[in-house]
Structures are given as C-alpha cells and as structure tokens.
Structure 1
Amino acid sequence: MALSVSPVETIAWASLLGAAGQWLGNRLRMPPILFWLTAGMLLGPGAAGLIDAGALRDGLPAWIELALVVILFEGGLNLDLRTMRREGGLVGRLLLLGILASLGIGGVAAHVWGGLGWEAAAVFGALAAISGPAVVAPILKHVRVHRRLAQVLLGEAMLVDALGAVLAVVLLQGLAAGAWWPNGAWWLARTLGVGLAFGLVGGAGLGWLLARAAVRDSELRMVFAVAWVWAFAATAGQFAAQAGLVSAIVAGVVVQRFPVPDIARLKRFKGAIVVWLVSTLFVILAASLDLQALRTALGPGLGVSAALAFVARPLAAWLATLGAGWPRADRAFLAAFAPKGIVVAGMASLAGESLAHAEVAGAERFEALVFVVVLAASLVYGLMSGPLKRWLGVRGPEHTMLIVGGGALALEIGRAMEGWEVWYLDSDPYAVARMRRAGARAVSGNPMDPLFLELAGAPDAAAALVMTPGTEHNLLIARILRDDFRVETLWVAVEEGDERTYAKLMQRVGVVRAFGKHLSYTYWADQAYRKRLVYETRTIAPDSPLVGCRLGDVRIPNGVLPIVIRRGKEATLAHDDWVLAAGDEVVLLLRPERVEKGQPLLLPPVSEKSGVRAQFANAHHTLQ
C-alpha cells in the first residue's frame, strides 16, 4: 500500500537527505549533487515513497522561484568586481557565445536525439547554457585552479544563471503567444530593463540601510536583507516575468559596493540559506521524476550531453578566448568545464509544465532529458575536473599566500615575497588601514572566525603564515585553514619556549615553524611599526658550511630574523625544514644596533667544526 506523504514529511526528509549529501560530498570530495539526485530518485514515489513533490502541489513553483532569487542574490554579493573589471570582456564573450552555441547545437541535438519538438528544443537549449555558482563553486573548491581562471568561471556561472533563465522564459512566452519575433526581442529587453531598474533601486536601498545600521540587531539584519530582496524581486516579476531573477543578481552587486560593516556575516548567512535551499530542492525535484521516463531518456540524454560537452562548450570557449593571451592549458580547461546546477533543474520543472500545457511535441520527455544532462554533467565534471587539471597542467593557486596577523611586520614579509600574490587578515583595523594605503589587499576581522578567513582569500590561498601573539592561537587558526579551506602549506610563528610544548600538536596539524627560529612577536611587530628594521640579503657560497643544513638547525643571533629565501626565480618563506643550498639568497630583517659590524648573521649548527664561518655575499638597504 502506498504511503501517504504530507508536505511537512516531504520537506523534512528532503532537508535531511540534502544535508547528508552535502556532508558526504565534502568528506569524499565529490559533487554533492550526485548524492542529492540519487537520494531523491530512490526515495521518491517511484521507489521508497518517503518524498512526494506532489504533496507540495502549487507551492513548489513559488518555492523554486524564491530559492532562485536568494541563490542569484548570493551570487551577485560574491561576484568579484575586480576580476569583472579586468576580465569583463572575456566573461561577456563566454556568456554570448555559450548561449548561442547551446541554443544552436544543444537545441538541434535535443530535437534529433532527444525527440523534442523544435519549440521545446529551443527552450532546452536556453536552459542547457546555464551552469550556476551553486555547482561550480564546490567543484572549484576541490580542484583549486589559479584565481584568475576560478573567478572567470564563477563570474560566468553567476551571470549565465539569470540570462539563461530569462531567455527560457521569453521563449516560453513566445510559444504561448504563437510568435517569437518581434515580440520576443521586446520581452527580453523589458525583462532585462525591469530587472536592472529594480535591482539598482532595491540594492541601493538595502545597502544604504545596512551601511547606516538602520536595523541594528545582527540576526534581524540578515533576515531583513532576504525579505527585502524577495519583495523587490516579486515586485519586478509583476512588471515582467522572471525580471526578479535579474534584479536579484544586480542587487547583490550593488550591495557589495556599500560600506556594510558586517557584509562578511551577510555573505555567510546567505551561503547557509543557499546550501539548504539548493540541497533540499534538488532532492525534491529528483523525487518528482518519473523513473520510467528517466530510463527512456537516458540514451538520448547522454547523446545530447556529448554534443554539449564536446562541441558546444569547446567551440564557445575557444572563440571567446581568441586573442585574450590565455595559456593553452587554461583555454582547454575553460572548454572542458560546464557543469549544470539547481537553476537548470528548477527552471526545467517550471518549463516542463508550461510546455505540457501548450501541448508542445516532446513535452513529456523534456524534464527527464534535462535531468539526464544535469546528472551526466555532474558526474563528468565533478569526477574528471581534477584529473583533467593535472593532465592539462593547469596552474593551481601555487603563488597565493595569506598572512594572518603580524601588523607592520606582515607587510614587510609580504613585500619580500617576490612572485607571490599576498593577502592579509588582521584583527587590528588600524594595521589593516595602513596595509590598504600601501596598496595591499587586507581584511579586518577575527582570524578565528572562518567567515573572515574566507573573506580574506583563504579558499584561494596555496600557503598561509599565521603569526598572532600566541603560539596556541596560531595553531588553532592553522587548523581551521587546514580543515575548512584545505590550505596545503602552513607556517606558524612560535614564541620562545613553545617549541617543545607544542611539537606534537604542530605535527598533528601539519604545520612548520616559520623563520627558522622562535619569534618574539611583540618585539618584532613593534620594531616594524616604528620602522627600525633593515633588510639584509645573504647569499650562500658554494664552500659555505651552511650548505645542506636545515634552517631550523642554523644558529641565528638575537635581533636577526630570516623572512624569505630565494632560489633562482622562486621565493619561499623562511622556515625550519628548508635545506640551504649554494646560491640561496636569504633575506633577513634586523636591528642594526643589535648586530656588530662584520658579525655573521647565520652560523652552522653546533655540531659543525668550531670556528668555521660561512662565506656570504652581502646586500643591504633600509626599509622604506
């Protein structure tokens, strides 16, 4: 006997399975969409019967639209405006050519192999252009390509969500009216215009209110922001169908231009809502599928997926990057990366009903075909992006570094890290202000809060140096960077006397002591702030007894701090495990008053023969 499932039970089970799928995805480093779709199909009416999308009846389309608004607003809020200014032309070409290629090649493939009528095939082509940050971001979090490539992919995903959805709606409107031209052009222009206007006004109003702290309660501010965006999106939709989607992403971009004091918390709050909405909706939508229709659509869907993956996307990516000066490996990765997400699935559910109501040929196969493409794209791009990156030789974030704490000392270390992009996070707002005046990218906030670590660039950092006043505090921050952000290389400053106390903990966390010696944080930070330090550069000679020594074993006098070691064209932070070689340039900070003229600044370990001094070539200049 079939179980009677209530709306409450459907939402409760879908939420639980969505959260479990997200957890499994993080643990196994796989796209969670695979677990969501599988759970929905196994527990839907066609199988276990614990989840029934039909129980939500008319509420499901409204929920989908509200969820898409929050997803797109969160995307606009996180859109990297610096990258858009620098790479806006490339992203624009990817959007235009990607949509055109999907409409043409994807539409023809859906008609020929998928059995859709031309009208339904055109709508399919518009939806197939959509990728979405909700699925792109988790994959890039695991694959970790360099920042420029990641931001272009994320920027494209955020913008194509709204444009692809709007285009699909315009095509559906044309289908209902019996003609796409010239009315379609007017509908498209009206939708974009209304969405832009409401997004600008709504975003400016919300940004102004949040910046002036008109709503002071922190929790209420977050809820107020969501309600505000929903209200403006709903109002925009009254003037033009789906204009609310455009208004949401525009509002997000506008809000981040305002000096909102807790914008990082707003982003994290939106991110949590998006994770819940995306996971729950995916499970419910997967449960609504007819498993027999899905099996029927499997073969044609794989053929359509192949046409999109091997013809449409590569063609659009290669044409978009012509003359852009991008490396061949990056262009190939762009051409081979186009996953599909919740916006595709949500719009497919809405579009499928409209096509069935209009009695369009192939409407009964439309939703199943879209889900096969989504599932195939998730499997291919989620599982193969990592091996593809390594095979193509795409750079990861190898030369991006986050320095946590340190104040003025951090800035001096960052200046010496030639060839690295260095970002800063400090709890001292005055230190951060000085860093920004010096042209550095710096964030003020609590480094124990993952929210601020994320805002400072931890997800894109290949390495991090943590140097706050306490060793234990440094290790706790390093553990967050390792566990939550998978930063591969971690260095920590260790106070005098703490080396043995925290040796086992350092080994468990997987960190290395920075500078090759203990750091008296208060002293060095104060001296850097007062500009009392100078740089010294020492080159290790071929006959030096230091050749082959670990920096952690080298004797370093008081008042001398190794900060960077250069070998050839590469630079790295000075740390215990570095083995010195002939030709290494060791950059040191020192107080001239603490060092006698001609005094060796680096001495071999005590096990070496006494009285032997290293041979160095010297360079000396004062801090600016």
Structure 2
Amino acid sequence: MGEYIVLAVTLIGILGIGAQWLAWRTNMPAIVLMSIAGLIIGPLFGILRPEEQFGDFYRPIISIAVAVILFEGGLQLKFSELRGLGRGVGQIVFIGGPLAWLFGAIAGHYVAGLDWPTAILFAGIMIVTGPTVIIPLLRQAKLSTRPSALLKWEGIINDPIGALAAVITYEFVITQYGESLPAFQVFGSLFVGTILCVVWGVLIGLGLAEVFRRGWAPEYLKAPILLSAVLLAFEMANLLQEEGGLLAVTAMGVAMANSKMPSINQIRHFKETIAVLLVAGVFVLLTANLTPQILGQIDLKIMFFVGVMLFVVRPAAIFLATIGTELKWSERALVAWIAPRGIVAVAVSGLFAASMGPDSGFEEGGLMVPLAFAMVFATVVLHGFTIAPLGKLLGLASDAPPGVLIVGASPWSIELAKKIHDLDVPVLVTDPNYRALRGARNAGIPTYYGEILSEVSEHHIEFVRYGHLLALSGNEAHNSLVCTDLAPELSHNSTYQLSAGGKDDSRTSVSFALQGRSFLSDKMGLEDLLQRHWAGWKFQFTRLSEAFPPESYLEQLDDEAIIVMVQRRQGLTFQTAESPIRLQPGDRVLSYVPPEKESRKANAPVDAEGKSEEVRQIEQRKEEVIDDVTP
C-alpha cells in the first residue's frame, strides 16, 4: 500500500480542510465534521487504513503533529493576562484538574471497566478541555468577561497539564511493569526527567527569543528556524524521558510567549496556520484508523461512563475547586457544565493507545481512542449547542447583536456611535486621548481610555461582544495597524478604516495588504468628515419598504449625501469602497446628509476676507480636532 501514501496524504488534507471550511460556512463544530469525514473514508467504506498505509511512520506522524499543536497552545499563554483573572483560574486548574483526574479514574475503573493503569492514564488525558474548541464557542456565545476568561485560560493551561498527567502515568506504568522498580524510585526518576524536559524547552525558547530579538536571523528564516527548533526540542526531550517532548515543546511555547519579541505575532500566526493544518490531518487520520470492531466496543457501559464524566465528574470537581473564590453561583454552574474536549485529547489518546495495547499487557488500552472520540462527540455537540442558551438563562451572555468597536474619538465618530447606540447595538468608542472621549461619555456611550493595541486592553475589552471594527482616527497608519492586529480576532471582512485624509498618494498611503476595508470611500478621510460635521451635516435614518423602494429613496437623496450603513435582520452592513451597499426593501438606512440648501444659502455675516462665521469656525477647530484624534 506504500505507493498510495501521497494519495492518502492528499485525501486527508482535502477532507480535513474541507470539513473546517464547511464548519465555518454552517457554524457547526469543526471537530464533528472532521470526525464524520474520517469515519466515512475509514471504518465505513475502508478507503483509507492509515496504520497499514503509513506503517512505521504512523506513530511518529501523530507525535510530531501533537508536538506542534501543544507548542502553538503554549504560545497563547501569557502570564500577564493570567494575573488579572483572580483566584478562579488557579483553583480551577490546580485544584479542579487533580480532582477531575481522581474522579475520572474512579469512573473509568468502576463504570467503564478499565484496568487501573488505563483508567488513570485516560482520566489524566481528559483533563484537557481544548482551546481550539472552546474559543470558537466563546465567540459564538458572547459570554461576559469572567466566565469567558475562565473557560479560555483553563483550556490553554490544561493542554500541558493534561499532557503531563498522561506522561507521568505512562512512564510510571511502563517502568513498573517493565522493570518492577520501587514506586519512590520511579517517581523520583519521573520528577527529575520532567524537570529536565521543562528546563530544556525553556532554554530553547529563551535562546530563540534572544536570537530573534538581536536580529541574528532574517525575517524570512524565523518561521523555518522555529519549526526546526520545535522538532529538536521534542526529540531531544524524548531521549531524556519517553514522551517528555510534549512537556518540552509546551514549555518552549510558554517561554517564547512571555519573551518580549517584536515578531511574536507573526510567529504566532504562522504556527497557528501550521496547527490548523495538523489538526485537520491528525483528526481525520485518527478517525479513519478506527475499525468496526473498535467502534463496536462502544456499548451502553461506555455511554454511561461518558454521562458520568459529563454530569458527575466535571461538576463535582469544579464546584469543590471554586469554594471560597469570588465566582458567583451562576458562573460556577456554567464553568461546571462547559468542558469540550478537542484535538489534543484525541491525539494524545491515540499516541498512548499505540503503546498500551493488548500486546503490551493492557487489554483495555485500545479502548482509549474510541473512548476519547465518544467524549469529544458528546461534549462538542452538547456543549456547543447549549453554551449560548445556558449563558443567557444564567444572565452571563448578551442577547444583543454583534457590536461595533470604534477606534478614534472625534466629533464625527461620536455622532455615529450615538446613532448605532440608538439601534440597541453595543458600541464602544476607544481613544488614547481622554479629552477626546468627553463627548461620548456625556452622551452615555461606553468608552475605553487607552491604546487599543496595548496588551492591557485585552483585560478590559470584551472583544467577543463586537463583530465590527471601525478604525476612524486621523492617522491612516494607525488605522491600518489596528485593522491588521485585530483582523484575526474579528475577521478581515469586518474591519473598516478611513483613508489618509482623502488623498490617493502612493508616497503617503499604506499598502493595501495592510489595510482594513475602505470605510465609505477610498478618498474619504477624517478631515473631510470633520469639515462636513462643522458645516452642519447630520445623520439620518430612513426605513425602506415595498411602498418606498430603494429607487424612490435614491431619487430623493441629496447628490452629496453619503450612505453610511444599513441595518438588516442579519445585522449591520457598512458602506465600503470595495463593496458598495445594494439597498433592499426592509433596510433601515443611515445616511449622512448636508443641511437644507435654503439654510446653506441664507445670508450670513462675512469678514473682510469674505469668510462666513461657519468657515471661520471650521478653520479654527480643524487643527485642534485633528490633534485630539491622532494617536
């Protein structure tokens, strides 16, 4: 079957990425679709038999993929963010995790019928709640800050902790069964090996950070060097302690995430891309490797075990761990229920199941993979479809539509924020100039005083509440930087910015590749909008209908007027140079219109230079306003 390896890899890649794309289009859990794809080509039709086709390479492929995935998870963990979350995260992770491990092992042995080594190993793996699963669910549910932060960081921190629990159990079991050493000697060896692996990973991470910080590696080589270093850290740690590479790469990622490197975001995005590819491939690979005989082992006893893990083990561990914390009852209840398992749980289960099968003396070791898939399916489906309703029921999620984040407080942007606020759509105006935010505060509009690009802003702004970004400062470079930085969080299609003062100059304009979508027009800058503002232009809402269709509205609209956005059942749609709005009956249109022509023609006193009071006011305030809204 070796001649079909390239075809098998191609098929796995197409199915994995295709499943993730379909999940994005349908808003369904990607893991479920990837698993279905693997089941179809594997045990259902027998098109792909990974272990036969890849042979001796099957286990190393899984190992390397898990290593890169864990490293990418470590890159997301920054200690500065954890400090702002109180005791909740610490107790959930360091008290709730061991409790869940203990309760899960007891359930695995007495409910699922696993032998003690397999039950303890599998319960350790099930500590992992999977950031690749929980973060998309949090975006969908729009939870409030504290429960969202708890679930997010529990998932990130639990990746290495679950791996550590599995490695410790595996090493202890294999050593005891193989060499019959005393328990204290085994634990001593594991402790020393674990410390060495973690130190090795930290040293490589800090060393690479120093190399990148000093400029000893060109930009185009940083990503390849990093990927090679991950593999080096993984393999060398495995030589120190079997499966210790999982700890080393996680420690390496955490060390680099907390090093002040100017290129950390680019590295993080590259590793995220690699991780997405590997997640897709590994999940399809592991699912396709299941056989009808293995799936047939998932009986009522196994399903009862899954139910005990969901309804007894997790709630008991969380409620006990959060005693004495500042968390409210509703927050504890939500966190106790939401614990979706993801790719790491399945991949690590597959990794250890290959070494703990019947050939190694563990009759139930082969059950870990189908058990892991049963847990993933149950948690992803149940938690994915219940997190939003439960969050709203407990008062921890918002019913409001996706909000608008406005960066840059000017008189014009504040007036726009008022109109959006009138639609009962969440809106937040941010600016590093406290005086510029005064108008928004006086109007009762939520504000954030600070630099939106600062890491501190992540602690104070609930980004999950906002589906649109309007970068409206007077500095095009800053607008572009904001759009580039927040695009991965909000999607590029939902980031908009003003151009550089309405000028199309190749010397001063920012590269198109770095910009958000051109808000209103590619020749419309803040200065142009402020001139209209001081000239008396106003925002105006109009409802379109069958009786008053778009054609009639456009005929009555002033030739100089600007259509800013429309409100539809699906949400807000903003005017852009790339995709002008096509009006439809039922739209609620927000336009920016000039004052009545009669009022503009009214006699007004002029000075010796022939300038009216209106013109003098514009010129007087122009520089002051631009200074206020420019970072």
Contact 2:234–2:249 (CA under 8 A) maintained in structure 1: yes
Q: Equivalent residue for 2:363?
A: 361
Q: What displacement does 1:193 show?
A: 1.2
Q: Equivalent residue for 2:130?
A: 132
Query: Residues of 2 paired with 1:240 and 1:142: CA distance?
Result: 40
- Does 2:432 align with 1:411? yes
> Secondary structure of the residue that 1:78 maps to in structure 2?
coil
Q: What displacement does 1:44 show?
A: 0.8
Query: Residues of 2 paired with 1:350 and 1:493: CA distance?
Result: 60
Contact 1:15–1:276 (CA under 8 A) maintained in structure 2: yes
> Secondary structure of the residue that 2:297 maps to in structure 1?
helix
Query: Residues of 2 paired with 1:296 and 1:371: CA distance?
Result: 12
Q: Deviations over 1:582-618 (max 9, x none)?
A: xxxxxxxxx9x949xxxxxxxxxxxxxxxxxxxxxxx
Q: Equivalent residue for 1:20?
A: 18
Q: Greater CA deviation, 71-80 or 269-278?
A: 71-80
Q: Deviations over 1:125-158 (max 9, x none)?
A: 1111112222222222322323443333222212
Q: What displacement does 1:165 show?
A: 1.7
Structure 1 residues 249 and 365, CA gap change in structure 2 (3 angstroms): closer
Contact 2:480–2:497 (CA under 8 A) maintained in structure 1: no
Q: Equivalent residue for 1:227?
A: 228
TM-score w.r.t. length of structure 1: 0.70
Structure 1 residues 116 and 470, CA gap change in structure 2 (3 angstroms): farther
Q: Which runs of 5+ in 2 are unaligned?
A: 412-429, 464-470, 520-525, 538-557, 576-589, 597-613, 619-631
Q: Equivalent residue for 1:300?
A: 301
Q: Greater CA deviation, 8-17 or 230-239?
A: 230-239
Q: Any residues of structure 2 matched to 1:186-585 within 5 Å, and which? A: 186-218=188-220, 220-356=221-357, 357-396=359-398, 402-404=405-407, 410-412=431-433, 413-414=436-437, 416-417=440-441, 420-421=447-448, 424=451, 447=480, 451-454=484-487, 458=490, 466-467=497-498, 469=500, 495=529, 496=532, 503=563, 510-511=572-573
Query: Residues of 2 paired with 1:210 and 1:18: CA distance?
Result: 33
Q: Deviations over 1:308-328 (max 9, x none)?
A: 111121122222322322233
Contact 2:43–2:292 (CA under 8 A) maintained in structure 1: no
Contact 2:78–2:258 (CA under 8 A) maintained in structure 1: no
Query: Residues of 1 paired with 2:238 and 2:373: CA distance?
Result: 26
> Secondary structure of the residue that 2:165 maps to in structure 1?
helix
User: Given residue 351 of structure 2, which amino acid in structure 1 is its aligned partner?
Assistant: L
Q: Equivalent residue for 2:89?
A: 91
RMSD (CA atoms): 4.6
Q: What displacement does 1:404 show?
A: 3.8
Query: Residues of 1 paired with 2:162 and 2:83: CA distance?
Result: 22
Query: Residues of 2 paired with 1:56 and 1:100: CA distance?
Result: 36
User: Given residue 207 of structure 2, which amino acid in structure 1 is its aligned partner?
Assistant: G
Query: Residues of 1 paired with 2:99 and 2:527: CA distance?
Result: 52
Q: Greater CA deviation, 24-33 or 469-478?
A: 469-478
Q: Any residues of structure 2 matched to 1:98-113 within 5 Å, and which? A: 98-113=96-111
Query: Residues of 2 paired with 1:480 and 1:379: CA distance?
Result: 38
Structure 1 residues 500 and 553, CA gap change in structure 2 (3 angstroms): closer
Contact 1:127–1:344 (CA under 8 A) maintained in structure 2: yes
Query: Residues of 2 paired with 1:81 and 1:175: CA distance?
Result: 33
Query: Residues of 2 paired with 1:414 and 1:148: CA distance?
Result: 26
Contact 2:409–2:437 (CA under 8 A) maintained in structure 1: no
Structure 1 residues 400 and 332, CA gap change in structure 2 (3 angstroms): farther
Q: Which runs of 5+ in 1 are unaligned?
A: 427-431, 482-491, 514-549, 557-590, 596-624
TM-score w.r.t. length of structure 2: 0.69
Contact 1:43–1:49 (CA under 8 A) maintained in structure 2: yes
Query: Residues of 2 paired with 1:264 and 1:480: CA distance?
Result: 24
Q: What displacement does 1:499 show?
A: 9.2
Contact 2:42–2:291 (CA under 8 A) maintained in structure 1: no
Query: Residues of 2 paired with 1:368 and 1:30: CA distance?
Result: 22
> Secondary structure of the residue that 1:215 maps to in structure 2?
coil
Query: Residues of 2 paired with 1:55 and 1:92: CA distance?
Result: 44
> Secondary structure of the residue that 1:510 maps to in structure 2?
strand
Q: What displacement does 1:307 show?
A: 1.2
What is the total number of aligned residue pairs between the two structures? 511
Q: Deviations over 1:327-370 (max 9, x none)?
A: 33222211111111111111111221222132123234332222
User: Given residue 241 of structure 2, which amino acid in structure 1 is its aligned partner?
Assistant: A
Structure 1 residues 449 and 338, CA gap change in structure 2 (3 angstroms): same
Contact 2:564–2:591 (CA under 8 A) maintained in structure 1: no
Query: Residues of 1 paired with 2:171 and 2:222: CA distance?
Result: 37
Correspondence for 2:40 among 18, 39, 42: 42
Contact 1:402–1:465 (CA under 8 A) maintained in structure 2: no
Q: Equivalent residue for 1:538?
A: none
Query: Residues of 2 paired with 1:269 and 1:499: CA distance?
Result: 47
Q: Deviations over 1:86-115 (max 9, x none)?
A: 236432321233333333322222223323
Contact 1:195–1:236 (CA under 8 A) maintained in structure 2: yes
Query: Residues of 2 paired with 1:502 and 1:127: CA distance?
Result: 57
Q: What displacement does 1:445 show?
A: 6.3
Query: Residues of 1 paired with 2:388 and 2:518: CA distance?
Result: 23
User: Given residue 367 of structure 1, which amino acid in structure 2 is its aligned partner?
Assistant: V
Query: Residues of 1 paired with 2:200 and 2:13: CA distance?
Result: 32
Q: Equivalent residue for 2:161?
A: 163
Query: Residues of 2 paired with 1:280 and 1:321: CA distance?
Result: 37
Query: Residues of 1 paired with 2:229 and 2:350: CA distance?
Result: 26
Q: What displacement does 1:275 show?
A: 0.6
> Secondary structure of the residue that 2:68 maps to in structure 1?
helix
